[in-house]
Amino acid sequence: MEIFLQQLVNGIVLGSIYALVALGYTLVYGILGLINFAHGDIVMIGAMVTLAVVHFLSGTGLPGPALVGIGVLVAAIVCMALGYLVERIAYRPLRDAPRLAPLITAIGVSILLQNLAMMIWGREYLSFPPLFQSGSFTFSGVSISPIQILILFASGAMMGALSWMVKRTRLGNAMRATAQHPEVATLLGVDSNLIISITFVIGSALAAVAGTMVGAYYGIAHYDMGFMLGLKAFTAAVLGGIGNIEGAMLGGILLGVIESMGAGYLGALTGGVFGSNYQDVFAFFVLILVLVFRPSGLLGEQVGERP
Amino acid sequence: MNRGIRLFLVAAGLIALPFLTDFAFGRTWVRIIDFALLYSMLALGLNIVVGFAGLLDLGYVAFFAVGAYLYALLASPHFGLHLPFWLLLPLGALVAGLFGILLGAPTLRLRGDYLAIVTLGFGEIIRIFLNNLNAPYDITGGPQGVNLIDPITIGGFSLNHPLSSSFPAVYNYYFLFLAVTILVAFVSSRLQNSRIGRAWVAIREDEIAAEAMGINTRNVKLLAFAMGASFGGLSGTLFAGFEGFVSPESFTLMESIMILCMVVLGGMGHIRGVIFGAILLSILPEALRYVGSLQQAIFGHVYADPSSIRMLLFGISLILVMLFRPAGLWPSPVRRRELAAHDETARHENSSIYDAGH
């Protein structure tokens, strides 16, 4: 039971990071119908920039959390600019092109960002300095560390804010209108190009935060960390129903929990034949199973054939 | 120019190619051309699934892996089996085709990007299994893979033996791969103009209309998966015999993505375009190696890692090609006409993966 609860906590923490990244995929997909393959690499850039800022300021004697705070801020600004540029250069010119064309440019951008990062930061694993107090609180056998608590609160707050913004504000209204029908939204006075840019910028800001969380949580940053993370997050977005904001959150947390449960129990369940190295197989298997029974994801709308 | 003369010139060019390449660029480049031919087969296989039937497959490399491992396990000291090449080549295609059906069956109801992510997951599952099936029983050799694989042997003659000092082993493989590539391209083009090929295109353009026309969409889609997969398996067996070594590292998601890039960049659904894309994308990264090391010659100093510069330029070229030629470098004439038509209704009614999202 303790193992179960412990894995549940770890899974939810990991899952809330997935959820933040998944939101970036789902926001863009909801509006453009495009899989933004470069999103994972923007997460990576976020982690790298935070790390660089932390190293730069480490001599000033500021406390750890303040360093990370400044780092995230800088990373968010860099990633937002990057997200804007990527949309402007690689996706906007292809808006009316065949649908797989922007997918290929997305892959191109991903390769480009990875190799730029490799040129700037090298190909070694960079270690994140321990910025938060170590040790952990224990509640009836389940331990949770300060950084896990911080991740939970920060991601919860950001998801709440995003939900509120999309549902209640004028900007959110415009975003939903653009997602439904860009031409009609434009007729009604929405500057859909601006809205699309804003969507990319918001997604990239979330990515910067998520990147920092991953880096600080695992204590490591690497130029190709974004690829697998992005893949998992995209899987999470699809699991929840891509294009659906609550779906991305649910899918992210679910995927995190599935993965850590897989890591914790797979060996025992299969009599040691399949160990925790099969946790990804387990996650993908669950994904396939969910999609077989609910082809548009858990919270995806059952849309008709023709929009 | 009449057809006969053109055919003769192309054939002469293809026969002379390894000799000319060897003479002009060195033997490594003949090897690169061998790989370009393997990639052409893969791209042609994926083209059936993505280009003809319009089903976005991001895990295609799994079928390549199935073919490669089948050959590796049944023709190496790993299990002590040494089955002949002529048996394994069709067997590789067959088993990969079965895997294609295995993947296709549960995913028939899925559309577009949901299908993409499931195929991606399938590819990863296969790779993870290959990577981990060395315990408790050693089946795939784990991360180390399988080595000492038998070379391809035809009629008692091992292709690893050079015919003469001016006709090395890479030439043998070149001619074998060329023959299989031509076969695959021929089968592709016959399929394209057959009843099945038309059914694929009908499904790609509008699945419901296709069903209403009496097409059994389930079987036809499964057939697309199986055909595409069997080409992948074919290419995989050749790869294993050629390399003499397989490991899970050759079958990553990045590889699937590269094959997809070849198909899209060349011109989806157009056989010649797809082959062109495959050759271009397998040669480009190699050619860019020279650019990476040029900085030494120009600036007299190495500023950045040549391999990152190479991939950086590769990424940039992917972006540029798509920006300037969104339908691919060499799209089929029909597609070009359709894209040129600025008919609003036509634009809105198209909603297959070829077309814009809205």
Q: What is the ipTM of this complex?
A: 0.86
Of B151, B95, B149, the C-alpha closest to B126 is B95
- Give the number of residues written for chain A: 307
In a domain, A280, yes or no: yes
* Residue linked to tokens 């940053």: A221
What values do phi and psi take at B76, rounded to 5?
A: -160, 165
pLDDT of residue A254: 93
What digits encode the pLDDT tens for the residues A186-210?
999 999 899 999 999 999 999 999 9
Residues of A with Cβ-Cβ distance to B125 under 8 angstroms? 281, 284-285
Q: How far apart are CA B128 and CA A228, in angstroms?
A: 13
CB contacts under 8 A, A 95-134 vs B, are 95-105, 107-112, 114-116, 118-119, 123
In a domain, A298, yes or no: no
In a domain, B308, yes or no: yes
A230 neighbors A168 (Cβ within 8 angstroms): no
A140: left (phi over 0), alpha (psi -120 to 50) or beta: left
Distance (Å) from the alpha carbon of A145 to chain B's nearest alpha carbon: 31
Q: How far apart are CA B70 and CA B139, in angstroms?
A: 11
Q: Which pLDDT band, with edges at 50, 70 and 90, does A183 fall under?
A: confident
Q: How far apart are the first and last CA of chain B?
A: 44
Q: How far apart are CA B77 and CA B149, in angstroms?
A: 7
Cα separations (Å) of A125 from A90, A118, A120? 29, 11, 13
Cα separations (Å) of B225 from A11, A126, A159, B99, B243? 35, 42, 39, 9, 26
Of A159, A152, A150, the C-alpha closest to A64 is A150
What values do phi and psi take at B157, rounded to 5?
A: -105, 115
Mean predicted lDDT score pLDDT of chain B: 86
Residues of B with Cβ-Cβ distance to A29 under 8 angstroms? 113
In a domain, B356, yes or no: no
Tokens at A273, concatenated: 């034949």
Q: How far apart are CA A196 and CA A230, in angstroms?
A: 20
In a domain, A306, yes or no: no
Cα separations (Å) of B97 from A94, B62, B188, B223, B343? 35, 11, 15, 9, 40
In a domain, A51, yes or no: yes
* Number of CB pairs, chain A paired with chain B, less than 8 A apart: 153
B332 neighbors B267 (Cβ within 8 angstroms): yes
Do B109 and A101 make contact, defined as CB atoms within 8 angstroms? no
CA atoms within 13 A on the CB side of B175: 15
Locate the chain A residue with the closest alpha carbon to B137. Answer: A273
Q: What whole-number percentage of chain B has pLDDT above 90?
A: 43
pLDDT at B346 over 50: no
pLDDT at A32 over 80: yes
pLDDT of residue A37: 85
Buried b (16+ CB within 10 A) or exposed e, B203-236: bbbbbeebeeeebebeebbbbbbbbbbbbbbbbb
Q: How far apart are the first and last CA of chain A?
A: 47
Residues of B with Cβ-Cβ distance to A280 under 8 angstroms? 124, 128
Q: How far apart are CA A156 and CA A23, in angstroms?
A: 12
Q: Is A184 on the interface with B (CB under 8 A)?
A: no
What digits encode the pLDDT tens for the residues B136-181?
778 888 888 998 899 988 877 888 888 777 788 888 899 999 999 9
Q: Which pLDDT band, with edges at 50, 70 and 90, does B1 fall under?
A: low
Between residues A285 and B36, the one the model is more confident about: B36
Angle, helices B112-132/B61-74, rounded to nearest 10 degrees: 30
Mean pLDDT for the stretch of residues B82-107? 92
pLDDT of residue A135: 74
Strands A220-221, A126-127: parallel, antiparallel or unpaired by DSSP? Answer: antiparallel
pLDDT at A307 over 60: no
Nearest-by-Cβ selection for B316 from A34, A112, A285: A112
pLDDT at B93 over 50: yes
In a domain, B355, yes or no: no
Residues of B with Cβ-Cβ distance to A295 under 8 angstroms? 109-111, 114
Q: Which pLDDT band, with edges at 50, 70 and 90, does B192 fall under?
A: very high
* Residue linked to tokens 């390549």: B64
Of A221, A133, A97, A168, the C-alpha closest to B350 is A97
Q: How many domains does one find in chain A?
A: 1
Q: Which residues contact B311 (CB under 8 A, 6 or more apart)?
A: A111, A114, A115, B285
**Angle, CA B116 vertex, CA A47 and CA B243 arms, to 5°:** 85
In a domain, A259, yes or no: yes
pLDDT of residue B127: 92
Q: How far apart are CA B183 and CA B178, in angstroms?
A: 9
In a domain, B357, yes or no: no
Mean pLDDT for the stretch of residues A260-274? 75
Q: How far apart are CA B99 and CA B52, in angstroms?
A: 20
Domain that holds residue A260: 2-126+138-293
In a domain, B41, yes or no: yes
Mean pLDDT for the stretch of residues A29-52? 91
A216 neighbors A128 (Cβ within 8 angstroms): yes
In a domain, B207, yes or no: yes
Nearest-by-Cβ selection for B114 from A96, A107, A238: A238
In a domain, B358, yes or no: no
Q: How far apart are CA A289 and CA B258, in angstroms?
A: 27
Of A197, A12, A203, A163, the C-alpha closest to A91 is A197
In a domain, B233, yes or no: yes
Do A33 and B358 make contact, defined as CB atoms within 8 angstroms? yes
In a domain, A165, yes or no: yes
Mean pLDDT for the stretch of residues A227-241? 88
pLDDT of residue B356: 47
Question: Mutating which of A32, A39, A92, A99 best tests the B interface, going by the most B Cβ atoms within 10 A?
Answer: A99
Q: Which residues contact B284 (CB under 8 A, 6 or more apart)?
A: B314, B317
Domain that holds residue B234: 3-349
Tokens at A217, concatenated: 């949580």
Question: In CATH, what number is assigned to the domain containing residue A31?
Answer: 1.10.3470
Mean pLDDT for the stretch of residues B273-290? 89
Question: In CATH, what number is assigned to the domain containing residue B195?
Answer: 1.10.3470
B318 neighbors A105 (Cβ within 8 angstroms): yes
pLDDT of residue B353: 55
Q: How many domains does one find in chain B?
A: 1
pLDDT of residue A112: 93
Do B354 and A98 make contact, defined as CB atoms within 8 angstroms? yes
Do A111 and B305 make contact, defined as CB atoms within 8 angstroms? no
Between residues B22 and A201, the one the model is more confident about: A201
B42 neighbors B70 (Cβ within 8 angstroms): no
In a domain, A131, yes or no: no
Q: How far apart are CA A297 and CA A305, in angstroms?
A: 16
Between residues B33 and B110, the one the model is more confident about: B33
- The pTM for the full model equals 0.87
Mean pLDDT for the stretch of residues B271-277? 94
pLDDT of residue A82: 96
Residues of A with Cβ-Cβ distance to B131 under 8 angstroms? 277
pLDDT at B352 over 70: no
